[in-house]
A and B are shown apart, each in its own frame.
Chain A
Amino acid sequence: MDRLQRGAILIALADALRRQGSWCGETHLQKATYFLQHLMEVPLEYDFILYKHGPFSFDLRDELTALQSDQLLELRPQPIPYGPSLLPTAASVEFRERYPRTLGTHQRSVDFVARKLGDKGVSELERLATALYVTRQMTDADAEARARRINELKPHVSLDEARQAVASVDRLKEEAASLS
């Protein structure tokens, strides 16, 4: 997948998240892209590390900056104290139409992720994305071991919250598998 094909998917994701009521700040886009890449297996090839608020990709941040330079995404400040949203521009509508094959292949995955995550705030997205990250790292571990690992990595996430996040991710994995 080349840069512009990835761009078309990111713009479609931002648009779908927004339609689901997402705040669509950078953190929302980072976590949703992580799910798109690692739950839905869309081959975006971003390198994610566990960072502030869970999995984070510096490459993806660079790509979001490049899409602003390309006049396809724009930063929209929100009232204090909330962070800015990153939204598709009017020009991006026509741009997306130029990638029918890429979006034809992946739009269903984009819509699924947006439907499942669009109404979530940053705290919940952090818990869910970290749960997916830990699940991918500890492939043979049971739910309790994964929840304990989340609590260890992110002490502000309580063990109960971590257990709920692991259960949600396991359900999401089943639903995603049934889509394909």
Chain B
Amino acid sequence: MAKQLHEIRDPIHVFVRLDTDERKVLDSRPFQRLRHIHQLALSYLVYPAATHRRFEHSLGVMELAGRVFDVVTHKDAVREEVRRALPEIANEDALRYWRRVLRMAALCHDMGHLPFSHAAEKELLPSDWNHERLTREIILSDEMKIIWESMTPPVRPLDVVKLAVGPREAKDLTFSTWEDILAEIIVGNSFGVDRMDYLLRDSHHAGVAYGKFDHFRLIDTLRILPTAPSGPDQPPPEPALGVEDGGIHSAEALLLARYFMYSQVYFHPIRRIYDIHLKDFLSAWLLGAKFATDLEKHLRTTDNEVSAALWEAAHDPTKPGHADAQRIVGHQHFKVLYQRRPDDVAKNPEAGQVVFEAAKSEFGTENVRHDRYTQKGSAHIFPVLTKDERIAYSVQVSETLQRLPVVDVDYVFVHPERLGDAERWLRARHDSLIQRTGEAI
């Protein structure tokens, strides 16, 4: 008899298991492509071992999604008001179906990534496109529909789309409360398993300890909880993903891991400037300065083609993008001239933009780059079930979460040969440049 359950070795979760139906998705062309997309783009130029791919990350997200689903839908973990609000929880067939959909959405959630993952997709795709939209198109493609229909029971592709990209990226679709919670299990700001897996996996491969947290304890204490009232009147019960009191320290550890990984790895200034050099190279190399949104072309383009082109362009001055390719291949990246400081923010929250504009005028557009990012969402507010069975908000029971800073990055980079001049230039006019911003009357 043919094997029905397949195990894959994994450095984070030991084994990732999937059945024969699920394996069809694993073996599909769009999923296999993820073997050739680096999870952390060019971060391996800073953290040499961070060469892992979206492929193993997606497997890990599927594994964790299944675990979280089993915990939060276990009959002993579901409160009566949640059972009333989510009838799917008491229906065995519905649970089986949605567990499959959740795991498949988790497996497919990154299929739309461009080569080198997140690097500048806003600039390198036509407007209204991003990797989530490409993911959606792939899930709904004829190639994948054959697989969804062959499953037992058949899976509705639009259900997979909803859970894979979530309400933020599928604004045209209506989500039921149940679908919303399942999407939160994958892409949620606080406890999304996408984040859990990438923090654990990226820290493992980068060789840093910041991303580690007790995910076993955290997952065991996750619950679907009614949201606490936002004021003295009683709002309708809209359940959300929260945590039992006993898991609050693991939740703190996850959110601190997120903070440190963002500040130390994902927004490491050298990693960020390599992303910018790569974007500049791709703008020169790509036809029309954009990646194709045609699915066939998307599926045929991976990091391998880009890496080969980078290497060639670095060694041939006649190739488009030669200078940027040389910066990446020869480790001649731009250097940090300015980064966000709290005292500057008090005067002008967009201080980096001011320095960038002035530096461009002084040293030339070609010698200066700007990078700006502010954390999305409000990750650290979620319901907590207290020991006396009340629902509280996380910031009421955790002083750590009350004080957790928002990740905010504002860098200005300059050509390495101009760094000394630029530093002296900025020292001489820092205070006059960064003045209180505002409008004239």
Contact = CB atoms under 8 A, between A and B. Distances in A.
B441 A83 contact: no
Contacts of B392: 80-81
B236 A156 contact: yes
Contacts of A171: none
A37 B101 CA distance: 37
Contacts of B240: 52
Interface stretch (A21-29, A107-115, A141-149): A21-29
A25 B386 CA distance: 21
Contacts of B288: none
B439 A3 contact: no
Interface in B364-423: 374-378, 381, 386, 390-393, 395-396, 402, 405-406, 408
Contacts of B377: 58, 61-62, 65
A57 to B, nearest CB: 10
Given A25-B231, A53-B235, A82-B231, A4 B350 contact: yes
Interface in A86-104: 91, 97-102
A15 interface: no
A75 B395 contact: yes
Interface stretch (B149-157, B167-175, B200-208): B167-175
Interface string B205-235: 0000000000000000000000111111111
A70 interface: yes
Contacts of B234: 123
A25 B230 contact: yes
Q: Is the interface of B mostly helix, strand, loop or mixed?
A: loop
B330 interface: no
B396 A80 contact: yes
B166 to A, nearest CB: 10
B28 interface: no
A124 interface: yes
Contacts of A28: 230-231
Contact of A98 (B381, B390, B438): B438
B346 A71 contact: yes
Nearest to A120: B233
B13 interface: no
A62 B377 CA distance: 5
Contacts of B376: 58, 61-62, 65
Contact of A27 (B230, B375, B406): B230
Nearest to B397: A80
B406 A122 contact: no
A147 B70 CA distance: 39
Most buried by A among B231, B234, B396: B231
B345 A71 contact: yes
B22 interface: no
A77 interface: yes
Nearest to A101: B439
Interface stretch (A43-51, A131-139, A162-170, A172-180): A43-51
A124 B374 contact: no
Contact of B406 (A3, A68, A97, A154): A68
A123 B439 contact: no
B96 to A, nearest CB: 26
Interface of A: 3-5, 7, 23, 25-28, 47, 49-53, 58, 61-62, 64-66, 68-72, 75, 77-84, 91, 97-102, 121-124, 126, 154, 156
5 contacts: A28-B230, A52-B177, A65-B375, A82-B229, A91-B346
- 8 closest residue pairs by CB, A with B: A98-B438, A121-B233, A23-B231, A69-B406, A83-B230, A70-B349, A122-B235, A25-B230
